[in-house]
Structure 1
Amino acid sequence: MRTLLTPRWLGLLLAALALAATMVFLGRWQLHRYEERSAINDRIHAGETGAAVPADRLLPRPADGPGSVGPALPDDAAWRRVTVTGTYDSAGELLVRNRTVDSTVGFEVITPLVTADGTTFLVDRGWIPPSPKGPTVAPSVPAAPTGSVTITARVHPSESGGTDTVQVDGRTEIRRVATGPVARFLDKYAVYDGYLLAVDGSPGATSQPIPVDDENAWQNAAYVVQWWLFAGLTLFGFGYLLRKEHLEGLAGTPTEASRTAAPVA
């Protein structure tokens, strides 16, 4: 088709192909994210009812000294139910600020649980409301039980970021439960990577355990359809405009008979 072989249309063709290829790539990336999130949701659902196993069977033991964190949490350990026996160290307790449960912003209570060999798990004992006296007053924190306890919890991957600590009314507050920075801040424990969400009824759990929400995998699935649909529309639109200009060119081109016919007197 001579219309397509013009420099302008060849340039438009290359641009349309490049744009469509980019959209296909973005769709494939969103498909990958959908598969990742679906796998996470499968582990979350399995962890809701699965049998609890000793935590040290799933999580690699810290091998270095105080202030260090153990090897990275294996993917298949996340969200599993585990049991662990140890002693709460309330002196190292931290409050994670700006945590929302049922549309109310409050705190999560992180208390180190020291095992018999000295290695330590960071245990999220649950959510508590803020002080009614305002943000400059520490909330009322239920005391952790003393002595040896055995808790049941769900494994939560470490969050990213730093500790970003502040002192409020004698309490240390942080924004993120990042096990590496928290271990270095506390500087007295060899800490397992990841942290534990105490389930309802475990010793030390607050009246509001932390819920585990599903990943929004279907949002990524919708983006897959969107990007691939845009890619198809881009190529369709190019073909439509090319055909339209080609037909207009044919309609405006005089026929051979009209060019050779003699003028009428």
Structure 2
Amino acid sequence: MSRWRRALLLLATVGGAVLTARLGVWQLDRAAQKEALQAAIEVRGQETPLDGAAALAMTAPAADAQDHRRARVSGTWLPARTVHLDNRQMDGRPGFYVLTPLVLDDGTALMVQRGWRPRDFEDRTRLAPLQTPEGRVTVEGRLARGVARLYAFDGADTGPIRQNLDLLSYATESGLRLRPLLLLQTSPADDGLRRDWPLPAVDVHKHYGYAFQWFALCALILALHVWFRVLRPRWASRT
């Protein structure tokens, strides 16, 4: 093999080893980030619930610190502004997440993910009447920065049935002074909705598995180079 081919092979080996090692480190970093998130969720879930509108964040930076906190608020529902998020499953059944703004005592509004309801299998756009209490109500739940987004085509995020809901865009659309938080309701209510909200999935094991695969591939690249370029030629020269 000519000198430039040997140099090219060495360069490819080093490049492949560095790349796979870097990918392994990146997976370990992702695992560490998710472990930190899991710890934050557990700590915030044990803190004293935020009570009342005055305790809730009004800005995005402050909302980050209240993510996953428990909260208790009072206000009045705006049923005309109810939104149904499509293609949301519970126990493997397709249906809707039902979200309704709650006007708080100070005039601001908090979007509440009230619960889940099944879809009409004959007509997915047909919505059964929704029971919404009138007057002042008190709602308890867990705060979140928003609802997990699903893929949607252009124009799918308008109307009473939509695929996703962006709080900032909805505030502009509705004209409400909407807070940058979403409340996942956990308190009982006579509205026929289910509220079995799982905690955010923090699966770190897959990242450790990916990291092992990348490091193993890095080791294999180096081992093959050492075998074919160093050990095997020496062994062949002695026989």
| TM-score, length basis structure 1 | 0.77
Change (3 A) 1:42 1:147: same
Residue equivalent to 1:233: 220
Change (3 A) 1:204 1:43: farther
Change (3 A) 1:24 1:203: farther
User: Residue 129 of structure 1 is aligned with which of 118, 132, 156?
Assistant: 118
Q: Shift in Å at residue 113 of structure 1?
A: 0.7
Deviations 1:132-189 (A, max 9, x none): 4321322x2532211112211111222458883355xxxx112113211222222x21
Change (3 A) 1:217 1:199: same
Letter in 2 for 1:31: L
Residue equivalent to 1:31: 28
Residue equivalent to 1:174: 162
The ranges of structure 1 where at least 4 consecutive aligned residues each deviate by more than 3 angstroms after the TM superposition are: 43-51, 55-59, 72-76, 159-163, 202-205
User: Residue 165 of structure 1 is aligned with which of 157, 164, 175?
Assistant: 157
Query: What secondary structure, in the 3-state scheme, does the structure 2 residue paired with 1:110 have?
Result: strand
1:198 maps to 2:195: no
Q: Shift in Å at residue 101 of structure 1?
A: 0.7
Residue equivalent to 2:203: 216
Unaligned runs of 5+ in 1: 62-69, 253-265
Query: What secondary structure, in the 3-state scheme, does the structure 1 residue paired with 2:87 have?
Result: strand
**Please, what is the CA RMSD of the aligned residues?**
2.8
Whether the 8 Å CA contact 1:60–1:192 is kept in 2: the answer is yes
Whether the 8 Å CA contact 2:131–2:192 is kept in 1: the answer is no
Q: % of aligned pairs identical?
A: 23
Which shows bigger deviation, 98-107 or 113-122? 113-122
Letter in 2 for 1:185: E
| TM-score, length basis structure 2 | 0.85
Tell which structure's C-alpha radius of gyration is larger: 1
Letter in 1 for 2:181: G
d(CA) in 2 for partners of 1:249, 1:141:
83
Deviations 1:30-63 (A, max 9, x none): 22221222222223344555432236566431xx
Change (3 A) 1:72 1:97: farther
Whether the 8 Å CA contact 2:52–2:72 is kept in 1: the answer is yes
Residue equivalent to 1:151: 139
d(CA) in 2 for partners of 1:246, 1:22:
27
1:142 maps to 2:130: yes
Change (3 A) 1:104 1:177: same
Whether the 8 Å CA contact 2:98–2:113 is kept in 1: the answer is yes
Letter in 2 for 1:219: K
Residue equivalent to 2:237: 250
Residue equivalent to 1:262: none
d(CA) in 2 for partners of 1:98, 1:32:
32
d(CA) in 1 for partners of 2:205, 2:16:
25
Unaligned runs of 5+ in 2: none
d(CA) in 1 for partners of 2:105, 2:191:
18
Change (3 A) 1:142 1:20: same
Aligned length: 235
d(CA) in 2 for partners of 1:125, 1:89:
12
